[in-house]
Amino acid sequence: MQEFLGTHTPRLDEKGRLFLPARYRADLSEGLVITTGQENCLYVFPTAEFHRISAQMAAAPSSSKNVRDIVRVFRARAHSDTPDRQGRVTIPAPLRSYAGLDRECTVIGNGSRLEVWDTARWEAYLDEVMPAYSTYSVETEEAVPGL
């Protein structure tokens, strides 16, 4: 599987279907899982990657309420799909509502997953984070918190 990178701007059709970026259709042709992401976007994983992450979550201590909450939301809102011949997947109404998706979408590659954003929400997010991003240095770990 290749790493998902880049920004794409497909539109949702009237049935809530999204055209996947052409360059990633082969990686997702065997199936995918769409679920709630953070910052009100959706995560799209190849099925095997979703199961790998879900298994990692299952290994976390279930005695922690925070862990139980995260695992429940991640799995409960998950939707399995297989792209049709035109590379479209249906995004269920609850997931569209969560992400504020109507028509204009932005799909970004983020490593092992795609993220689907409402375009206006994505642009607002970029406006918020770009000032801090300009101070990061990819050459030094100290410049990026948490690395």
**C-alpha of 122 from chain center:** 12
Query: What angle in degrees, to the nearest 10, is found between the helix axes of 47-59 and 65-76?
Result: 160
Q: What is the mean pLDDT of residues 56-80?
A: 90
Specify the pTM: 0.89
- How confident is residue 142, by pLDDT bands cut at 50, 70 and 90? low
Q: What is the mean pLDDT of residues 41-55?
A: 95
Check whether 132 has a pLDDT greater than 90: no
> DSSP letter at 43?
E
Identify the burial level of 14 via C-beta atoms within 10 angstroms of its C-beta, where 0-12 means exposed, 13-18 middle and 19 or more buried. exposed
Check whether 134 has a pLDDT greater than 90: no
Report the half-sphere exposure of 140 (CA within 13 A, side-chain side). 5
pLDDT of residue 92: 97
Q: Residue 102 CB: number of other CB atoms within 10 A?
A: 14
**Strands 105-110 and 113-118: what pairing?**
antiparallel
Check whether 139 has a pLDDT greater than 80: no
Whole-angstrom Cα distance, residue 49 to residue 112? 7
Which of the residue ranges 31-45, 60-74, 77-91 would you say has the lowest mean pLDDT? 60-74
| For the chain, percent of residues with pLDDT exceeding 90 | 73
Contacts of 11 (CB under 8 A, 6+ apart): 19, 103, 104, 105
